[in-house]
Structure 1
Amino acid sequence: MSQETTDLLKVLAVTLLVFATSTLVMLYGILLLAQYGADLPMVGSLPLNAPPELVPVLTGSGVFATLAAVHVTGSGIALLLTSTTIDMALLITSKAVTVVIMALLGFAGGHMVYLQITENAALNLNPLLPALVGLIGFLALSTVLSVPALRRLGNLRYAVGVGLVILGPLLLVWL
């Protein structure tokens, strides 16, 4: 495993922990304000017992599948061209989306822990499945399937590039 991949995994782990912890602190802060902060209208209207609906909405909307399909197509085009700038842009984008997905998972995990502690709510991980699939896909696009990694294939990269250009739209239909 390269140092770059190890660093990315460290960043993902820290992101998950920071967002899970921040969510717990935020929700308990809201709970304390709701109980001891008198009649604060903004705090009183927050549904603390609802599931974290943001994650299923974002993952169910197809945003990550669309970004993955476009990224695969862009990777194919980049392999057909020679541009360090395009390669770096795609690599940074895939890493950024990976970190954003991990932040969403951290938020959802922190919210689920909060509900488990305060209300003994059942843990339901099914809404997180599309986010986990997206995380795995973008982690692959930012490591083993990144454009710089695929450039090492030599002239075979042109065939892979054409294949990725064709695969991109198919992913959009399949996902």
Structure 2
Amino acid sequence: MSQDTMDLLKVLVAVLIIFAISTLAMLYGILLLAEYGGNLPMIGSLPLSAPPEMVPLLANSGLFTTLAATHVTASGIALLLTSTTLDMALLIAAKAVAVVITALLGFAGGHMIYLQLTEKVPIALSPLAPAIIALVAYLVLSSMLSVPALRRFGNLRFVIGLGLIVLGPVLLVWL
């Protein structure tokens, strides 16, 4: 595993933990304000409630799979061209989306822990499966299937590029 991949994994773990802890702090802050802040002038007039159950909606929205399919097609186009700027842009985009998905998973984890602690709701990871699959896909797109990694195949990159251009729409329909 390359140093870049190890650094990305460290960042993802840090983001996951900090977003889970931040979500717990935020939700308990809302709970405390709703419970004890009703008499305060500014707090008492705010409708404080737990955030809506948007975690499954965010995880199942299809946004990440659409971005992944588009990223695959863009990688194919970039392989047909010669541009270090495009290569780096796609690599940075893959890493950034992986971090955003990890932040969503951290929020979801913190939210599930909060619901478990306050309402005894069992923790279920099945609603997060699409986001977890998308995270794995973006980890692959930012490492083994990144455009700089695929350029090492020499002229075979043109065949791979054409294959990725065809694979993008197939993934969009399949996923």
Contact 1:20 1:110 in 2 (8 A): yes
**Partner SS for 1:107:** helix
Give the letter for the 2:66 counterpart: T
Contact 1:87 1:147 in 2 (8 A): yes
**Partner SS for 1:42:** coil
Contact 1:33 1:43 in 2 (8 A): no
Deviation at 1:43, TM superposition (A): 4.2
Number of residue-to-residue matches in the alignment: 171
Deviations 1:112-136 (A, max 9, x none): 1111112211112111000000000
The answer for unaligned runs of 5 or more in structure 2 is none
Counterpart of 1:42 (choices 46, 53, 56) is 46
Runs of 4 or more off by more than 4 Å in structure 1? none
Q: Write the distance in 2 (CA, Å) between the matches of 1:8 and 1:75.
A: 20
Deviations 1:55-103 (A, max 9, x none): 3212322111110111000000000110000001100111010000000
Residue 104 of structure 2: aligned partner: 104
Give the TM-score taking structure 1 as reference length. Answer: 0.93
Residue 169 of structure 1: aligned partner: 169
1:139-150 correspondence runs (5 A): 139-150=139-150
Deviation at 1:110, TM superposition (A): 0.3
Give the TM-score taking structure 2 as reference length. Answer: 0.93
CA RMSD of superposed structures (Å):
1.3
Identity of aligned residues (%): 65
Residue 27 of structure 2: aligned partner: 27
